[in-house]
Amino acid sequence: MRQPTISKYLFPLLCLVLALCHWPGINAQDDSNEALLKKLQNASTKEQVQIYNKLSKSHIYSDPQRAIKYAEQALQVASRIDDKRGKAEAYNNLGMGYYFTNDYERLLESYRKSLLEYRLIGDNQSMSTLSSTYFRLSQSEKALKNYKRSLNLYITEKNWKKIAETYKNMADVYKNIADYSQALAYYEKALEMVEEEEGDDAKSEVIRLLDQIGQIWFYQKEYDTALIYFTRMQQMLEERGDRQNVSILLSNIANAYFFKGDLEQAHEYYQDALKMQIEQNGHWEAAMSLMRIGMIEAQRENYRKAINSYNKSVKLAKVADANDLLRDNYLVLSEAYEALGNYQKAYEYRILHSDLSEAMVMEENITNFVDALALQALEEKQRENEILQTKNKNYLLELEKENLIKWRLSFGFTIIITSILVFIIYYRYYLKGQENKNLEQRIAEALKKQEEQQQIIMHQSSLTSLGELAAGIAHEINQPVQNISLSAESIKYELMEEQADKAFLNKSVNEIFEDIVRVRQIVDHIRIFSSGQKDEVEEEFDVSECVRAATSMIGSQYANHHISLTTKLSGDLPCVLGNPHKLEQVIHNLLSNAKDAVEERKQQEPELKMQVGIETYYENENVYLCIRDNGVGISHNRKTDIFLPFVTSKQLGKGTGLGLSISYSLIKEMRGRIEVESEPGKGTAMVVILPLADNL
Give the SS3 label for residue 521: helix
Closest CA to 324 of 4, 653, 675: 4
Give the CA distances from residue 655 to residues 23, 526, 586, in Å, rounded to whole numbers and listed in that order.
Answer: 76, 22, 15
Alpha helices in 561-669 (DSSP H): 580-604, 659-669
Q: Running DSSP on this structure, what letter comes out for residue 625?
A: E
Instruction: Compute and round to an integer the Cα radius of gyration of the chain.
Output: 41
pLDDT at 237: 85
Measure CA 601 to chain center. Answer: 45
Please state, in angstroms and rounded to a whole number, the distance separating the CA atoms of residues 590 and 625: 11
Q: Which residues of 122-151 are buried (b: 16+ CB within 10 A; e: fewer)?
A: ebeebbbbbbbbbbbbeebbebbeebeebb
Residue length, the chain?
A: 696
pLDDT at 20: 35
pLDDT at 478: 66
Please state, in angstroms and rounded to a whole number, the distance separating the CA atoms of residues 178 and 173: 9
Task: Extract the residue ranges of the chain whose pLDDT is less than 50.
Answer: 1-28, 135, 370, 373-374, 532, 652-653
pLDDT at 658: 65
* pTM of the entire predicted model: 0.36
